């Protein structure tokens, strides 16, 4: 999952496949991913991982890094199965 998110960020959002980006990097507060691009990322996560992300859960904690996003998406997946 992390790999797919990283690839999406690099190729689709930043247009730079060669970028050195790790799952732990802060992509939000550094401005690396623009605040508007996060919403495209959310679309991507919803479609790719079949989760619904409600507006109230679009928080900095859930989206600060690729690792945080993966954790969050997994927790949504589990929740939705229940």
Partner 1 sequence: MNPAHLTTAQLMLWTGQQLAPRSPQYNSVFTFELHGPLDTDRFRRSFGRLVEECDNLRTVFSTTGGEVRQQVLAEAPRPLEFIRWSQSPASLEAWVAERGSQLLDLAVCCYDAVLVELAPDHHLFFLNQHHLIVDAWGVSVQYRRLSELYAAGAGAVEGNQPPGFRDYRRELPEGPIAEVPDYWSGRGAVVPPQLFGRDNTGGESRSPRVSVTLPDHLMRGLDALAAHPRVRHWTWNMTAFSVLSALLTAYVYRLTRQRELALGTPAAHRATPAERDLPGMLIEMLPLYGEVRSGDSFLQLIERQKESVNAFLRAARPGVIRPELAAGYNVVLNYITATFGDFAPDVSCRTRWHSPGHADPGHHLRLQVHNFDGGEGLTLEFDLNVAVFTSADRERVPAQFLRLLEGCLEDPERSVDAVDLLDDAEKAALCRLSRGAEGDAPAEDVLHLFEARAAAAPGAIALAYPGGRMTYGELDAAAGRLAGFLDRKLAAEGQIIAIHLPRCADLLVAILGCWKAGHTYLPLPADIPDGRLDHILRETEAALIITDAAHGRRVGDRGVTVLHLDEDRPLLERHAPLAPARRRTAPAYVMYTSGSTGVPKGVVIGHAALANYIDYARRRYVKGPAPVFPLFTTIGFDLTVTSLFTPLVCGGRLEIYPEPPPGTPDLAVVQVMEDDRCDVVKLTPSHLALLRGQDFRSHRLRTLIVGGEQFAADLAREIREAIPPAAEIINEYGPTEATVGCIVQALSGATPLTGAAVPIGRPIPNTEAWILDGSGGLVLPGTPGDLYLGGVCLAEGYWKREDLTADRFLPHPFAAHGRLYRTGDRARWNAAGELEFLGRQDRQVKWRGYRIELDEVENLLAGHPAIMSAAVELVEPIGDADSPPDRFCTRCGLPANYPSASFDAEGVCQLCRGFADYEEKARAYFRTPEDFRALFADRPVDRGAPYDCIMLLSGGKDSTYVLGQLVDMGLTVLAFTLDNGYISDQAIDNIRRVTHELGVDVHFGSTPAMNEIFVDSLQRHCNVCNGCFKTIYTLSTQLALEKGIPYIVTGLSRGQFFETRLTEELFWQDGMGDSKDIDAAILEARKAYHRADDAVSRLLDTSAFADDRVFERVQFLDFYRYTDVTLEEMYAYLDRRLPWVRPTDTGRSTNCLINQVGIHVHKKEKGYNNYAFPYSWDVRIGHKDRAAALEEINEEVDVAAVERIMQEIGYFAPADSYDRHQLLACYTAAEPLDPEDLRAHLRHFLPDYSLPQRFIRLEEMPLTPAGKVDRRALAEVASAQGAPTTDVAPPEGEIEALLAEIWGEVLGRERIGRHERFIDLGGHSLTAIRLAARISDTFELEVPLHRVFELPTIAQQASYLEETMLRLLAESETTAPEQSVDTTA
Task: List contacts with partner 1 (CB under 8 A).
Answer: 12-16, 28-29, 31, 34-40, 42-43, 55-56, 58, 60, 63
Token pair listed for 28: 């939000």
3-class secondary structure, 82: coil
Q: How far is the CB of 20 from partner 1 (least distance, A)?
A: 16
Q: How far is the CB of 73 from partner 1 (least distance, A)?
A: 16
* Cβ distance to partner 1 smaller for residue 31 or 81: 31
Q: How far is the CB of 29 from partner 1 (least distance, A)?
A: 7
CA-nearest of 58, 71, 57, 59 to 24 is 71
* Cβ distance to partner 1 smaller for residue 19 or 24: 19
CA distance 26 to 64: 6
Token pair listed for 69: 């996003």
């Amino acid at each position: 999952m992390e790999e797919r998110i990283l690839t999406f960020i690099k190729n689709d959002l930043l247009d730079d496949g060669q970028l050195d980006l790790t799952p732990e990097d802060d992509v939000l507060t550094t401005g690396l991913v623009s605040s508007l691009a996060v919403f495209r990322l959310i679309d991507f996560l919803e479609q790719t991982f079949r989760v619904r992300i409600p507006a109230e859960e679009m928080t900095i904690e859930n989206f600060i890094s690729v690792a945080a996003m993966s954790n969050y998406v997994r927790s949504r997946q589990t929740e939705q199965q229940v």
